Structure 1
Amino acid sequence: MKISLNWLNDYIETGLAPERIAAILSDLGFPCEGIERLDDDTVLDVEVTSNRGDCLSHIGVARELAAATGKELRLPQVELDEVDKDASEFVQVEIAEPDLCGRYTARVIEGVKVGPSPDWMVRRLEAVGMRSVNNVVDATNYAMMETGQPPHAFDYSTIEEGRIIVRRAVAGERIVSIDGSQCELGDQMLVIADAKRPVAVAGVMGGLETEVSDTTTTILLEEAHFDPVCVRTTSRRLALPSEAAFRFERIVDIEKVDWASRRTAQLIVQVAGGRVARGVVDAYPRRPEPREVTMRLSRLGKLLGIEISSETVVNILSALCFAPRLSDDVVTCSVPTWRSDIVREVDLIEEVARVHGYDKVPTRRRIRIEAVPADAHQKMAQSIGGFLNGCGFYETVTVTFIDRAIADLFAGSDATANLGVKDVSRRSANLLRQTLLGSLLEVLKTNVNARNLPCRVYEIADTFRPTQDRSALPDEKTKVALICSGDFRELRGAVEGLIRHIDRRAAVDFVPVDVSWAEVGAEVTVNGRAIGVAAVFSESVRNRLDFKDLAPCGAELDFAELMALTGAPISIRPVPRFPAVERDLSILVAEETPWRAIAQAVAASASAELEDVRFVDIYRGKGIAPDKKSVTLSLRFRDEDGTLTHEVVDGYQAAIVQRLGEAVGAELRTM
C-alpha cells in the first residue's frame, strides 16, 4: 500500500520526518518497504497484513498514527447539495443473495460533465500508482484510496429500467469487463445485474457496456459490502485482479458504506459538477450486532511478561476507538466496526502491546535452552514404532479429515454422526475421523496401484468421536492402527507381539465379535479387558476401494490402554537340559469352528509337559467335505526332569485328541 505524505497530511499533521513516520508504522506492525521522494511529495510503501483491511487507505493509516502519536485525526466533512427529487425515483435495489452481499447503496448524480481531472487529484493518484482515466472514475479511485471502501460509477442511462439486482450469475452468462476481458460466469459467482443482464462482477470489476464515457451525464453510484470469500474466489477463477477485489477480500466496514458513498458523491460533484438526488437507496437486510470483547489485565501481564498500568491500557484502547470500560481487573471494549480482526482477548492484548511498544519488552543477553526429556506418551509411541518397524510395518502420517464415502464404510447402525468443518477448501474431505483404518486403507490402495506389495503400514494418531452433548468437545482418543495386505495371521502375530513387547505376562486373546465393516472380526482383549478390534475387511469395503484380488486385514488398539499395561521385569531361565518332542496333528472340524475354541480345548486337557501350541495351516479341498476344514496344529512337549519317551507323549496326545473330539467335534485326519 503506497501512502502519499501530502495526502496523509489532510487527515493528520504529525510534524515528523518521513523516516520517523516509517519507523512508527513499522513498530505498529506495518513495515515500510521503501521511501520514494517525488518533486513535492514523499511516498511510503507500507506492507499491510491481510487481517487489516481497514488500513488499505490513507484514513486507516492516519488513524493508526493518531493512536501512536496522540495527534488529532481529522476526517473529511461531507456535505451534499441535494436536489428535491428522491434517489428512489431513479433506481430500485434488490439483494437476492444476502449471504454474499450484506449491504448495497445507490446514489444518483445528474448533470455531470465527464472530462480531465484537476492536477491535484491526478498527482495524488499517480503518486500511489494509479493512472488517471477521467474525472468521474478518478473521483471513485480517489475515494477508495482515501476511505478503503471501493465504489463503482455506472452510466445511469445504460441501466435497464433503473433496476439493480445483486444475484448469482446464471451458468454460461458472459460479461465483458472494463479492461476488455471476456468473462464466462459460473453459478457460484455474484454479479450486479439490471433488468436484463449482468452489468458488473460484484466486488471485482464493472462491465464495459455500462462504464462512464464522455457522453455520460447521469451517474449511478454504487457502494456495497460483499462476502470476501466469494470475491476472492471469483477474482481468481476469472483471473481478474483489481484494487477493489483486493480490499473486499480483506473485509470492508459495512457500517461506513453510506458515509463512504456520500464522500464519493461529494468528490464527483467537486471535480465533475452535477447535483445529487436526495437521499440514498440503501438495501441493508441484516445489520450486524455490536461486538464487545473483554480483556483481563492479569492475563495481559502474564502474556507480555511486563506490567502496563491500567491507565496506560485504557488510554491506548481509547486512542484506538475501543471505548474501554474498566471494572476491577477486566477491561470491556466495544469493537469499532472497521476492526473485523478483533474477536478475542488476545487480540486486545496485541493491540496494547504494539502501541505501547515492543521495544519496552526487556531482553536478555543470553537465552537458556533446556532440553526436555521425552514423556511417557512419547516413549510409548517410540517403543511401539520400533517394534512394528521390526515386524515389517512402515509408519505413515495421514490427514485427520476423511470424506463421507470413507466415513460411511465404518459407520455402524448406532454410530454417532461425524463432526465436520465448513472450510471451503475441504468441501469433500471435511469430516473428523472416528477411526484410523479408513485413512490407512487409502494408503494401502495407493501402494496397491503402484504394485508395491506386500504392504504393511501403521499409524499412531488421534480420533474424534462426538459426544451426546453436541455443544461439548468431541471424545478425542489416540489410537494405534495397523493394516496389512497379507494373511490375518501376520496381523495377529504383530498385535500379540506388540502387546507382549509391552507386558510379557499379558494374556492376549482374540474374541470373535460382529464388526459392521468386517467379514470376520475379533475383539482384542488383554487380561480380559477389551483394548481394540482386529478383522478382515468386508467385501463392501474391498469393493469401495477397488481391492479386486486382495483381502486386507486391519487392527486398531487404544493407545491409553497400551500405556496402562505394566511391563513385567526381565527374568532369566536356564537353557532346558532335556530335549523337546514335537507332534503335528491334523484334525477335521466344522467350517465354522474358530481356532480359539481349538486352543482352549487343547489347554483344558493338556498336561504340565505341554510347552507350546501353535497353529500351522488350514486345508480345504480334495478329500475334505464341503462343510469341513482340516486344521494342522503343532504341539511341543518337554519334561524338566528327564527325557520324554514317545510312549509317554502318545498318551498326552491321545488325551488331547479325545478332548478335541468332545469339545469341538474334531476327528483325527488320516492320509
Structure 2
Amino acid sequence: EYGQPLHAYDLDLIKGKKLIVRQGNEGESLKTLDEKERTIKAEDIVIADGNSKAIGLAGVMGGFETEVTENTKNILIESANFDSEAIRKTSKRLGLRSEASSRYEKGISSKLAEYGIKRFLKLIEETNSGSLVEGIHDDGSYEAEDQFVKVRNSRLNSLLGLDLSVEESKKYLEELEFECQVEDDIITAKVPYFRSDISIEADLIEEVGRLYGFHNIEPKGLEGPLTQGKKSDLRNFIDKIRDEVYGLGFSEVVSYSFISPKQYDKLNLSQDSKLRDSLKILNPLGEDFSVMRTTLIGNMLDIIRRNLNNKQFDLRLSELGNSFVKVGDDPSQSKEEKLLVMALVGDEYDYYYLKDSLEKLLTKLGIEDNKFQTEENNPSFHPGRTANVLVNDEKLAVIGEVHPLVLDNFDINKRVYLLEANVDTLFKYANDNIQYKEISKYPLVDRDIAFIINDRVEAQDIIETIRNNGGENIKFVKLFDRYAGSQIEDGKVSLAFKIGFQSNIKTLKDDEIKAAFNKIVDKLEDYYDIDLRS
C-alpha cells in the first residue's frame, strides 16, 4: 500500500532477541528464505542477531533460520531504509532479485519506514490478528532533506502548448500535495516525501499535463526558426510522372549512373557530340564504371538486351534518373539533369503507340501546344522515323525508332521504339492549374479535306497552317489518312484531314463554315502548292 518493504521475523528464533545491522564479513555464509546458501562479501549489508550471526540480507531477502512458520507465536516486524547502491550491487552480484530489492535499489523516502510499520500495526489491530506490544524502536538518524523544484510557467505553457495562468498551474500541483510558492512567473514546489520521482522542472510540467489531460491539448504547429518538412514542387512533379507512366502500362527500371565510355560508341555518337563530354570518376571500379552518364538511352538498351536474352519479348519499360552534365571546363561546376526514358519492344507496338503514350503523359502534365518535328541528324535513331518534341520552340524530348546499327551494337534483334525527355523542361512547362471549361451546347460540324502534296512537307506544319487560318471556331484538326502508291507520282503523298468547327455562343451557319474552310484551302495552296482531291 505504501511501497515500503517490511520483513517479519520469528522473535523466539532470534538469539538475544535483538537485531544488529552491520556490514558483512568476508566469506561468511547465510541460508536465505529460498533455502540457498549465500556467500557474503564485505560490501554487503546484513541483519544479524544478538550473537552477531547473519540472519538476513538487508533489503534483499531474509534468512531461513528466523522464518515465520505455523508454529510462530511472537513476530518482530522490521521496517527499514537502506542505501540504494549497496542493495543494487548485492542483488546483482548474487543474481537474487526480490520485491524488496527492486524497490530499495531505486531509492525510497526514509520517512516511509515509520509510516509503513504504523500502517501495518493499524491493520493488525483492526483485523484482530494479534496483540500489539507497546513501543516502536527507531535506530538511525538519517533524515532526507526537503526537496524543492522550480518551474517556469512560461516554459510549462511552451512545452505543453497551453495558455495556463500561474495560479492555474499552481492549483494543479497543489492537488498532488505539492506545497507551492509563486514569485512572478516561477512556481517553487516542495516535493512530497512519497514522490521521489520528481527532481527537475520537466517532471512538474509532466504532472500538470497529466492532470490537465494530454488528450485535451490541441495540436499546434512548430514555432521558431524551423520549417515544416515537405517535398519540393519538383519532387512532387517527379512522383506524378512516375505515377502517370506506370498508369500507361510501363514498368520502371533503375540502372547505375556510372557507365563505360564505350557506350557512347555503341550509340553511334559523333566524336564531337556534347554527350561524350562526361564527368570522369577519380577512383572507378573499372572501365565499365568510369564515367557519369549524360544519357539514359544506353542503360535502357542494355536492360532490353538482358530481358530479350531471358525470353521476355513484350516490353514496356521506363526509367527516371539523373544524368550529369558539365558546366564549362570546371568539373566542380557540373549539374544534374533528370531524364525520362520510355521504351517499347514487341510485335504490337510501333512509333505511333509510343507517340500516343507521350501525348497522354503531356496532357496529364498540362503541357499544351507541343509539336513534333522531324529529326534526321540524331545518329542513335532511325533518320526517317524520329522526331523532336518542341514546346515554344524548346526541345522537350526526342522520340523514334532506334537505329538498326545501334541495335546491332547492343546485340538486340528486335525493333525498339524509344523516347528520352528532359524532366526539368517538362517541369518548366507543366501546368497543374487545370480549369473547367463548359462544354458547348451548340452542334459540332466537321469537314474533310484531302490533297496531294510534296512528301517532304510535315503533317505537323500543315496542321498548324490550318489552325492559324481557320478562325477561332476550330476545335480540332486530325490527320486520318495518308497514301503513297502507284496512283500518286513519286515524291508526292496524299493526305486527308478532318477539321472540326464549333462555337461556344451560337450555332454556326453554313456560310461561316464555308468562309473559314475556303480560307484554309487558299492558304494551303499558297504555302504548299497542293492538288486538291475530290
Larger Rg: 2
Tell me: higher relative CO, structure 1 or 2? Use CA pairs within 8 A at least 6 residues apart. 1
